[in-house]
Amino acid sequence: MSGRYHVLVVAAGRGSRAGTGLPKQFRTLAGRPLIARTLQVFLERDDVGAVVTVIHEDDRALFTEAVEGFDPAVRMRLGPPAMGGATRQDSVRAGLEALVERGAGGDDLVLIHDGARPFVSEALVSRAVEGARISGAAVPGCPVFDTMKTIDGDGQVTGTPDRRSLRAVQTPQAFRLNLIRDAHRRAREQGRQDLTDDAAVAEFAGHVVTVFDGEPGNMKVTTSADFQAAELRLSAVLSDIRTGQGFDVHSFTDGDHVWLGGIRIPHDRSLSGHSDADVVLHALTDAILGAIGDGDIGSHFPPSEARWKGASSDIFLRHAVKLVRARGGAIASLNATVVCEMPKVGPHREAMRARIAEIAGIAANRVGVTATTSERMGFTGRGEGIVAWGLATIRLPQEPD
Ligand code: MG
């Protein structure tokens, strides 16, 4: 049998039990959408075929945003998402059909994984592939250590099953593609929409399903408490903390507004520059690039290139943030200090913080904007221009030096 395997990541649920309005798979976990963290595990493997994500139709924009942090080559490999249906079974079926459309063969293997399980390990993926290769249908399971009870509708205990014969089942569940595709079709034809995992679909169709060792750490992030626990785990992983500094200055010229921190502020002068001359966004961009040791704004966006003329500077900051995310990192904080006599920055501080946070894809409480005059001394004191300092703190995954 061919060794090819593909991955179906199911992320079409509407569940927002975790508290915000967003479906949980698109919520941010340590600065990065949960679904992006899950996808990363599979996209990093050299031996994987297609990786298809199934999402809800309403979440197209959320998905596009979530995968923006991947570098273009990885995003290309990911391809467009498949659109899910009303139930999980409908969504998996749609994803399996999408895989076939993308060239997956019936004898290939497919790993079906919950989008909300970002801690799936390399070893677990390998065991899933191996399990399906041997039996055609294999799922990860963990022993249960609590005593289990069955109960009736009134909450009365009806039995105490032997826990040694029980397993708590996780994903990725791995199957021969034809086997699980046919099983899903049959379940649909016979009106069975109550099957809660793909193993149950295979069992319904009469297949033997085997269990391999799951991992207790392969948690499904569902509730607010799960998100907190997951944040704690990731903070242990993202332990390589780096700081970068940026500085920028632009001089005044004729005009009626300045751009500061992505906000248009009316003023009796403008700042001159090749782009929109937003000193705050430039200083923050350099701070992030400095923190990862990846050149500076001038090396990424040469002023000699005409396409950056008049450019809106959020492009620069967004690019620097993407470079951090591409390394699996997160922005811990951004701080900008503006030095000028005029315009007054204070009245615009909150708008600037909100805009910078939006561009960087982080919470506004991770952004600070401070301002001062230079007591009428020096070129800022004489009103010849505006200075901005930027400071970025980022967290990268710990790697050996
Ligand atoms: Mg500049």
Q: What is the pLDDT of residue 244?
A: 98
Residues 6+ apart with CB under 8 A from 150: 157, 158, 159, 160, 161
pLDDT at 151: 96
Neighbours of ion ligand 1 (CB under 5 A): 248, 282
* Token pair for 236: 């242990």
Q: Quote the pLDDT of residue 380.
A: 96
Contact 395, 252 (CB under 8 A): no
- Summarised one tens digit per residue, pLDDT across range 117-135 is 999 998 999 999 999 999 9
Helices (H) and strands (E) in the chain, counts: 13, 19
Q: Comparing C-alpha atoms, which of 99, 124, 25 is closest to residue 66?
A: 25
pLDDT tier at 325, thresholds 50, 70, 90: confident
307 pLDDT higher than 90:
no
Distances in whole angstroms, Cα of residue 356 to Cα of each of 174, 251, 285, 340, 392: 42, 22, 11, 20, 12
pLDDT digit string (tens) for 121-174?
989 999 999 999 999 999 999 999 999 999 999 999 999 999 999 999 999 999
Token pair recorded at residue 388: 């901005």
Residue 16 has pLDDT above 60, yes or no: no
Distance, CA 385 to ligand 1 centroid (Å)?
12
In residues, how long is the chain? Answer: 401
pLDDT at 1 over 50: no
What is the 144 CA–ligand 1 centroid distance (Å)?
Answer: 59
CB 316 within 8 A of CB 283: no
Q: Distance, CA 86 to ligand 1 centroid (Å)? A: 50
Question: Residue 400: what pLDDT?
Answer: 64
Question: Is residue 143 reached through a cis peptide bond, with omega within 30 degrees of 0 on the bond before it?
Answer: no
Cα of 250 from ligand 1 centre, angstroms: 6
Å from CA of 265 to ligand 1 middle:
17
Distance 35 CA to ligand 1 centre (A): 35
* Rg of the chain (C-alpha set): 26
Distance CA 142, CA 162 (A): 15
Distance 400 CA to ligand 1 centre (A): 35
311 Cα to the center of ligand 1, angstroms:
11
Cβ atoms of 138 and 174 within 8 Å: the answer is yes
Q: What pTM did the predictor assign? A: 0.69
Tell me what pLDDT residue 171 has: 98
CA–CA separation, 42 and 28 (whole Å): 19
Q: What is the mean pLDDT of residues 242-268?
A: 97
- For residue 370, how far is its CA from the centre of ligand 1 (angstroms)? 18
344 CA → ligand 1 middle, Å: 20
Which residues have a Cβ under 8 Å from the Cβ of 294 and sit 6 or more positions away? 300, 323
Distance 279 CA to ligand 1 centre (A): 5
* C-alpha separations of 81 from 52, 54, 69, 382, 389 in Å: 6, 6, 16, 55, 40
* C-alpha of residue 318 to centroid of ligand 1, in Å: 15
- What is the per-residue pLDDT for 44? 78
Beta strands 367-372 and 330-339, pairing class: parallel
Q: What are φ and ψ of residue 114, in 5° steps?
A: -70, 130
